[in-house]
Amino acid sequence: DTAVSQTPKYLVTQMGNDKSIKCEQNLGHDTMYWYKQDSKKFLKIMFSYNNKELIINETVPNRFSPKSPDKAHLNLHINSLELGDSAVYFCASTQNEKLFFGSGTQLSVL
């Protein structure tokens, strides 16, 4: 009964490929996020959606395209993967400012 679940947990791929990470929350929250955590553990917000509408879009390359089919899902599609995209990507959801995070997707671009 995981509150925020994301798949896959590990993703290893070649440069230039296109990949997607899926996220689902069963908390009934309206707002969902994608965060990127680099090798130094720094967490940086990428996107935020509220009830399927994009509300925060940080300076992220347009190779990254979030999609929210409904308020319980926020998927992240990445085109033309680069070495620098290697990181752990966290999905999160919130209702009243407290974020609940998924367990992360470790992306390795070779």
Q: Can you say whether residue 91 is alpha, beta or left, with left for phi > 0 and alpha for psi between -120 and 50 degrees?
A: beta
Among the listed residues 25, 76, 102, 107, the single contact to another protein using CB under 8 A:
102
> Which residues make Cβ contacts (< 8 Å) with residue 92, sequence separation at least 6?
4, 32, 33, 34, 35, 99, 100, 101, 102
Question: Which of 21, 92 has the CB closer to another protein?
Answer: 92
CB 52 → another protein: shortest distance, Å? 14
The SS3 assignment for 50 reads: strand
Using the minimum distance from each CB to another protein, give the nearer residue, 35 or 64.
35
Residues lying near another protein in the complex (CB under 8 A) are found at 4, 31, 33, 35, 40-45, 48, 50, 55-56, 90, 92, 94, 97-104
